[in-house]
A and B are shown apart, each in its own frame.
Chain A
Amino acid sequence: MNSDRVIRKEEMEGKLSRAAKKLTSSPIQELSHLAQRCNAINLAEGFPDFPAPIHIKNAAVSAINSDFNQYRHVQGICQHLAKMVKEMHGLDIDPLTDVAISCGQTEAFAASIFATIDPGDEVILFDPSYETYQGCVTMAGGVPIHVPLDPPLWSLDPSKLLRSITERTKAIILNSPHNPTGKVFTKDELETIAGACCSRNCLAITDEVYEHITYDNQKHISLATFPGMQERTIITSSLSKTFSVTGWRVGWAIAPASIASAIRNIHIIVTDSAPAPFQEAALTALRSPPEYFETLRREYQSKRDYTIKLLAGVGFKIQFIPQGSFFLFAELPDDCPLSDVEFVKKLILKAGVVAVPGQGFFHTNLSSDEVSNASCNYQKRYIRFAFCKSEATLSAVSEKLGKLLDTEGRLALH
């Protein structure tokens, strides 16, 4: 690059929008690149390394062969969702007006934010939280306000929530089952959130992508089922996690008609249409029999249990057993001098295993003024492990860690 181009490059960098300049690239993806370079076993990114269900893949293949390859809106998806939402939650929705199909839950969420958040609107998020939410809110000009969940059980303190709601609060974001902790918000907690939404007149935008992955007979309860909530809740979800097709990009938003319509308008500008053959395949997926979902739960539960036993066995502190999602938020042992990032780097380099340092999920603009620097130290003590991996992968991890144990059987990476 000659010097002319270098100078112009600097000038050109000034051309980035303010929103883009504020956003940083995903720490999850960066570590993934390091892990790739070191050929590490990937317990970081949240997608399966086992095949997608064959009946759904066949449906996609069939759709491609049957020429379902032009722009489409597959209304049947909306019908199926209406049925599922009724069966799972007892909610009545109108498939003609209350559903917007999107390119994954990511786009459903982005469109929901753009459809409802004006510059300056405050949006409440529970900390720790999946990093994308904040970025999206910021891109729309909204102000993210983080309400910390209290470790070690990640419980919601109602007073912390209520204190953070102001007259500028437009929406509360709820991700349950929760990434990264695996928490499933309890009925009481949901009641608190619902009560706050109703009394303070906010919207709720939920991310329910792990809705079918719950453990120990826990049921996922949708916030929209609480009194006064259906009319103010946008439910977002997708095929990705339930059907192990994270790369297909079919998701949806369910909301009262006028909001769903606004979301649809944004979706049309952003991508116009979700991939057509996968929309067709979604019909097959959403028609899966109850056995499919039972097996899904059972298999993920056994992976969860294996992973907990493994990590607790080598010294991680696991005070909270995930109730849903396929993530385990494990704490470094008290006597470990390393931060989460340092630990994960060593884990990659020494053990050939990668996970995600928890600090990327915590945010500093916490609403509670009681939170001091000292009490925030916990934010650098957690590591998120994804156990949506085949048995072979998980036992390979066991083997790799097994080689690095000290005399007490604890992981020693120094």
Chain B
Amino acid sequence: MRVYNTTCCTHSLFRFMPSSKLLGYSNSNNFHSVISPSFSKTKTKTPKFSSFISATMSTVSTDKNQTHTHPLQVAKRLEKFKTTIFTQMSMLAIKHGAINLGQGFPNFDGPDFVKEAAIQAIRDGNNQYARGYGVPDLNIAIAERFKKDTGLVVDPEKEITVTSGCTEAIAATVLGLINPGDEVIVFAPFYDSYEATLSMSGANVKGITLRPPDFALPIQELKSTISKNTRAILLNTPHNPTGKMFTREELNTIASLCIENDVLVFSDEVYDKLAFDMEHISIASLPGMFERTVTMNSLGKTFSLTGWKIGWAIAPPHLTWGVRQAHAFLTFATSNPMQWAAAVALRAPDSYYTELKRDYIEKRAILVEGLKAVGFKVFPSTGTYFVVVDHTPFGHENDVAFCEYLVKEVGVVAIPTSVFYLNPEDGKNLVRFTFCKDEGTLRAAVERMKEKLRK
């Protein structure tokens, strides 16, 4: 009999009400959206219709005498989900014709040689189920690339799992390896789906905040938070939203604490090819770390094909097994033709990667210089295509208020970073801009800010 963590099911199992009340939940005026800055979609797309479950849904009373409460149809694990600020921002952006430097995906497309490979794969008939854990040639290409990047030799059959994007790699890793009640450490600010995914697994989340100006690892705080009770640390380097890259010293510190306390590391490295001012280091390559690390990555950011959803998890066989179990029930298999194309992509010559970096470094310069000229306090971004800035010189109450002003009055979208923290207060001075846009767009955005942004 499994024991479930009480933090994820504190109420007695709530049975929903008889059918006459059942109709109530589809009635929209039972749910009002709660604009809460604790969550946001960081890497999103065309605006979604705003139909996220509000926090009020999950706080239905368990008092059996209260027959008027709307029925709880939805599982308690959704308690963490609140309406996102992003929906509101996206709609504002469209309404005001704003330039969107909030969305974390390019407005330019991927390279032709990769697209052509996908087209060829479709025409060749690779349209049926791929092998669950990956098309063999892609697994091999991933292993080859990983060896080039880290020096580690991994078995493509036993140590690599292909997933629908890095998002699914994270979900499968967490659901496959985390039990309800397990302690997991995350570094705030963090990509917003981490908290939601961990919540789904019933994990006990412990946050450690990285602070400006350099978002350095607070070593003492980590030492006092980590213990033999810690199951895993969720690491993201290069880091979204700050653009920080964990240094060798920081990674060594994390590694030794993990070894000492027998902790796993789940390392999200999707931006590893967008490492500008220093070399990216995979923690799995540090001594004693491969056997306890899941290294996750994807095609999307490196090849500007974020909608193809090809990702992967690299881990020793005993951890891979858990990832694969969860993956099998989450999506079963990943898009077949795109996997063939991904294998081609990963074998791109070094020149592709050099060109990619050069291009993004130029884009970063345009944005960063522009933001500084306008009057933001800009924190150094070493990797990813994000930069965070302090908006307080402009005198707004907090990051959400500033972003709303920026969209409405200036015509530029940024993301309020409070949504990336466990405690939103920690992020209220910061907003995130992205530079994964063509140069024309970046320059236009800078122009608008120069013109209209007032202190």
A-side residues, CB < 8 A to B, are: 5, 8-9, 11-13, 15-20, 23, 25-26, 29, 45, 47-49, 51-52, 57, 60-61, 64-65, 67-73, 96-97, 103-104, 106-107, 110, 114-121, 132, 135-136, 139-141, 167-168, 198, 201, 203, 228, 231-232, 244-249, 256-262, 264-266, 268-278
Contact = CB atoms under 8 A, between A and B. Distances in A.
Nearest to A64: B115
A167 B115 CA distance: 53
Nearest to B115: A64
Contacts of B231: 15
If over half of B's interface residues share one DSSP class (helix, strand or loop), that class is named, otherwise mixed; here it is: loop
B168 to A, nearest CB: 5
Contact of A257 (B19, B28, B165, B175): B28
B177 A15 contact: yes
B175 A17 contact: yes
Contact of B106 (A70, A132, A256): A70
B78 A115 contact: yes
Interface in B376-434: none
Interface stretch (B120-128, B215-223, B275-283, B441-449): B120-128
Given A73-B48, A120-B4, A271-B171, A52 B127 contact: yes
A47 B329 contact: no
A247 B322 contact: no
B329 A132 contact: yes
B52 interface: yes
A274 B76 CA distance: 25
Q: Give 7 nearest A-B pairs by CB, closest first.
A: A276-B307, A247-B336, A71-B45, A20-B322, A271-B164, A47-B128, A106-B332
Contacts of B15: 167, 201
B318 interface: yes
B352 interface: no
Contact of B75 (A64, A116, A231): A116
A18 B2 contact: yes
A273 B51 CA distance: 16
B193 interface: yes
A38 B434 CA distance: 52
Given A70-B307, A265-B52, A274-B309, A20 B176 contact: yes
Nearest to B176: A20
Contact of A266 (B22, B115, B200, B334): B200
Given A20-B326, A132-B329, A262-B53, 20 more contacts: A18-B179, A20-B321, A45-B129, A61-B122, A64-B119, A73-B46, A104-B332, A110-B330, A110-B331, A116-B75, A118-B13, A119-B8, A119-B202, A120-B13, A132-B328, A231-B23, A248-B127, A249-B333, A271-B330, A277-B118
Contacts of B146: none
B77 interface: yes
Contacts of A97: 49, 51
A4 to B, nearest CB: 10
A115 B129 CA distance: 26
B328 A26 contact: yes
A269 B78 CA distance: 11
8 contacts: A19-B176, A19-B179, A51-B125, A51-B127, A71-B307, A107-B330, A110-B330, A274-B309
B75 A114 contact: yes
Contact of A65 (B16, B115, B308, B332): B115
B316 A168 contact: no
A29 B4 contact: no
A160 B13 CA distance: 25
A71 B48 CA distance: 12
B331 A103 contact: yes
Given A5-B291, A48-B128, A246-B128, A271 B331 contact: yes
A258 B178 CA distance: 28
A273 B307 contact: yes
A281 B339 CA distance: 18
A104 to B, nearest CB: 6
Given A116-B74, A168-B13, A278-B335, A269 B123 contact: no
